Amino acid sequence: MRVFIVLGHRARLDPGFSLNDLPGSAGRIDVLCRCVNSAFCLSHDLRRDTELYLVLQDQVTLRFVGSRLRHLNPDERSTAALIQRALAAREQLAAEPALAAAGQGEVESTPGIYISHRGLREVLSEAQSRVEELILLHEAGLPLRQAELAADSGFVLSDHLEFLPGELELMVALPKLSLGPLSLHADHCIVIVHNELDLRFGSGACYNGRRWDM
């Protein structure tokens, strides 16, 4: 399984934002929507072997599970509407503690999207139990292309802002890898990582059923 964790530093925690203003009053939820797109969307298909955590303001986490995802389309607006529904379910989670207990702290707002009151520390610990290695993607890291990677790897990225000192402290033990000499958008990094893993380990199905030979 491939795991991505994206830290949304300014994203709204309530569903009361306008879908017409994702970069502004929603707190750069447009960046997170593009990360969802890059994590899952193929041409006419979804990556089912992937999970994505969006950690919002270190307080609320949305977990997208590729094997269960429904209603995900490539456009930002409809993805933001799914995020909005998850944030509305969070309010229900807060009001009804029994729901949280039943879902082990998470509630599924639409198929394949779960929301919980968890921050980075808890998410790192859960993700670490799901993959062989968790990697911090950082411009100042060692070259990823020269690193050994496991097929089941996890990657932590920041949104449009730098990682905070406290976040880096929590992740100090993780290997820090770079994708290249330039600072890229987080969603573009996800596509590059997927492609690197597809080339190294295969992606399951190949275009038109043909074998991919390097």
Binding site for ligand SAM (CB under 6 A): 137-139, 157-158, 160-162, 178-180, 182-186, 189
Q: How far is the CB of 214 from ligand SAM (least distance, A)?
A: 23
d(CA 30, CA 40): 16
Q: Which is nearer to ligand SAM, 79 or 178 (CB)?
A: 178
d(CA 2, CA 149): 11
Question: Smallest Cα–Cα separation from 183: which of 139, 141, 140, 137?
Answer: 139
d(CA 80, CA 156): 21
d(CA 35, CA 40): 9
Q: Which is nearer to ligand SAM, 14 or 162 (CB)?
A: 162
Q: How far is the CB of 94 from ligand SAM (least distance, A)?
A: 30
C-alpha triplet 126, 131, 133: angle, nearest 5°: 105
Which residue of this chain has its Cβ atom nearest to ligand SAM in the complex?
158
Q: Which is nearer to ligand SAM, 107 or 136 (CB)?
A: 136
Q: Which is nearer to ligand SAM, 49 or 139 (CB)?
A: 139
Q: How far is the CB of 10 from ligand SAM (least distance, A)?
A: 13
Q: How far is the CB of 136 from ligand SAM (least distance, A)?
A: 7
Q: Which is nearer to ligand SAM, 120 or 186 (CB)?
A: 186
Start-end of H helices in 48-75: none
Q: Which is nearer to ligand SAM, 65 or 192 (CB)?
A: 192
Tokens 């491939």 correspond to: 2
Q: How far is the CB of 158 from ligand SAM (least distance, A)?
A: 3
d(CA 214, CA 157): 28
Q: How far is the CB of 122 from ligand SAM (least distance, A)?
A: 20
Start-end of H helices in the chain: 29-40, 76-95, 97-102, 120-130, 165-170, 186-201
